[in-house]
Structure 1
Amino acid sequence: MVLNRRSGGRDLVRPSATRQIAQIAQAAAVSEATVSRIINRKYGVSPATRQAVEKALKQVGYERPLDNRLVVMLTPNLKNPIFALQAERVENELNPYGLTTIICPVYPGTPRERDYVESLVDAGVAAIVFLSSSNTLRDEDHRVVQFVESRGIPYVSINGGFPETEAPVVSTDDWRAAEPAIGHLHDLGHRRIGLLAGPTGNLPADRRVEGFLRALDRRGVDNSEEFVVRQHFNIEGGQQAATTLLAQGVTGIVASSDEMAFGAYRAAERAGLSVPKDISVVGYDDSPVLDFIGPPLTTVRQPIERIAKNVARIVTSLISNRTVATEEILIEPEPRLRGSTAPVAIGT
């Protein structure tokens, strides 16, 4: 083992692990002190030395302990119910392993993300979970993950990974997200279907756009790119994008988040239209409140429970120094039919 308690500024190592640490030091051709620094994720070790020791850890079969360790979860905010619910599910899955989760709301890609990690790392951070944080941004400076890697801290990303690194990723299959929504609306007779899309450069948003275009192309719908409007993943963004689409005469709207779908409700009302009589709306996420709005929102559900189970399995494996595949795990979303969709009105 490794870090158990701190005493006088020194990391305590269980006696039963002394022999293993000596074996690791011999295999990596380094001192036992260097092995201890790497096990406890300290500064002052070169990347080459760290890599050699990590390889030796696996060869010897050394497993880091799961007790008394912190898992830092970085997420955009907790005001959005889907982020709060996903964070709660991951925390519930990790708790039985003795892991304590610290949820840090950050604006992705900002210094605050790195500040959280730097301030907590010496408290014994076992792993980092990027929950739809800077891992979703294609063109941002990913300094936070560079710091995490420099300290040898394992990490896993939810809904998109960092393009410059190889690390485990668990995602909703956003390429498939539009398929059940488009299929449902198409079966109801809708042919002019628009997408309320998230910002360009946001990985889940870009994937949903690609899936939307493919779904319509498979059904022989032409010029579908004209009915994609990019905006922020919130009510105001949804309202602005939906206003544009309504002016183009769409009869069905697919939103990239439930909050955007709520914005579509507001845009329809202000245009003198009724949901679902005049315009059908499909959301995305399956927030807990959807049964209690009027009309209840048809949506595509993110499989947050399955994501959480996979994340917990990966985190505990990484902390224990077991090998984990880095191929992205894609979990298919599921439709939830409610009252916001109806057959296309005659004559439209």
Structure 2
Amino acid sequence: MSITIREIAKLANVSIGTVSRVLNNKETGYTEETKAKVLDVVKRYDYIPNSAARALSTQSTKTLGCIIPDICNPFFPELARGIEDMAGSHGYHIFLCNTDLDAQKEESYVYTLLERQVDGLLFASSTATTPKNITRIQKVNKPIILLDACMHDEAIPHVYIDNCFGVYTATKHLIEKGHTSIAFITGSMNLSTSKERLRGYKMALEEAGLPIQEQLITEGDYTVEGGFRAMELLHLQSYTGLIASNDLMAYGVYKYARTQGIRIPEDLSVIGFDNLSFSQIIDPPLTTVSQPAYELGQYAAEMLIKCLQGMDTPSYHLYKPTLIVRESVK
């Protein structure tokens, strides 16, 4: 049986209240010498605190919930790593939930996280039920941070990428290289991220006086397979440049190009979005829009922790992505 707080107090020759303050990281009520004595006993007897009892006394579980849409997309593990590193540096643990963009899974995870009494939530997923799920979180007064513009609600703090600007920059780059016929593979059009990236594409074309050719716009799903299928739909169209709404779909474009004998960039110039680590080692290295997933996760976690500490935080934080020019554009 694990040692109790009462026994720790007796062995360290301090009061039970002092042990409690040390274990709960209270900043006052004991000296550094006393703290060292208590922690020495804790270490020697391998004491494991009762988190449920601690939560009752402190009104905090020191846990945060993080809901993401697709753990298979390398962008989101990097985002989650930034969240976890920042949370860990402040003594918080993370419950990571992957929805696979499934509304039922998202709703189930929200219930589970609230049942586990997480102190706050970071929400990056987006389904048809997301607004209802967020309202449910707000009703129990749990602070929430929206990530990557999973939905638009100015009343909720959010951290996101300027998706419109990112694709605008990519499209403008192709235009400056002489391309006048540019295809675009969107993500799921149920997502605000996808809508903003499409808006950036159209904005750059209009600014350059080029027509928007709807037959060159096709919907993908942010997967390699989605990029491949989109290329099958575009195969009868004529274009020299293509932008995929994320790097995974750009990889699908590469895969399709190989099956058809299409050379990149000699026959087709390709740009992705995300700047995943694989994008610099595929052949040819992919020109892509870089968004700082790790930094985004760090900043969002820091915002949430500040909310929990009662500190003022900005209502939003916008990251400007940058174009990384490599060898996939002629």
For the pair shown, the structure with the greater C-alpha radius of gyration is 2
Alignment length, in residue pairs?
A: 284
Match status 1:119 vs 2:112: yes
**Contact 1:285–1:302 under 8 Å retained in 2:** yes
Match status 1:75 vs 2:86: no
- Which segment drifts farther, 116-125 or 333-342? 116-125
| CA offset digits 1:81-139 (Å, max 9, x no partner) | 111111111211221111111211113352222322322334441110112x02xx4x5
Deviation at 1:286, TM superposition (A): 0.9
Percent of pairs with identical residues: 25
Match status 1:168 vs 2:161: no
Amino acid at match of 2:256: A
- RMSD of the alignment, in Å? 2.4
- Which segment drifts farther, 104-113 or 183-192? 104-113
Deviation at 1:6, TM superposition (A): 5.9
Alignment of 1:326-337 (within 5 A): 326=315, 328-337=316-325
SS at match of 2:63: strand
1:243 paired residue number? 232
Query: Which of 187, 190, 203 is 1:198 aligned to?
Result: 187
- Which segment drifts farther, 305-314 or 293-302? 305-314
1:85 paired residue number? 78
Distance 1:220 1:89, change over 3 A: same
1:186 paired residue number? 175
Distance 1:254 1:10, change over 3 A: closer
**Contact 1:109–1:140 under 8 Å retained in 2:** no
Match status 1:11 vs 2:56: yes
> What TM-score do the two structures reach when normalised by structure 2?
0.79
**Contact 1:283–1:297 under 8 Å retained in 2:** yes
Unaligned runs of 5+ in 2: 1-23, 25-49
Deviation at 1:78, TM superposition (A): 1.6
Alignment of 1:194-343 (within 5 A): 194-326=183-315, 328-342=316-330
**Contact 2:76–2:293 under 8 Å retained in 1:** no
Deviation at 1:212, TM superposition (A): 0.5
**Contact 1:161–1:167 under 8 Å retained in 2:** no
CA distance in structure 2 between the aligned counterparts of 1:75 and 1:267, rounded to whole angstroms: 28
CA distance in structure 2 between the aligned counterparts of 1:256 and 1:182, rounded to whole angstroms: 11
Unaligned runs of 5+ in 1: 14-39, 41-64, 343-348
**Contact 1:109–1:142 under 8 Å retained in 2:** no
CA distance in structure 2 between the aligned counterparts of 1:234 and 1:162, rounded to whole angstroms: 21
> What TM-score do the two structures reach when normalised by structure 1?
0.75
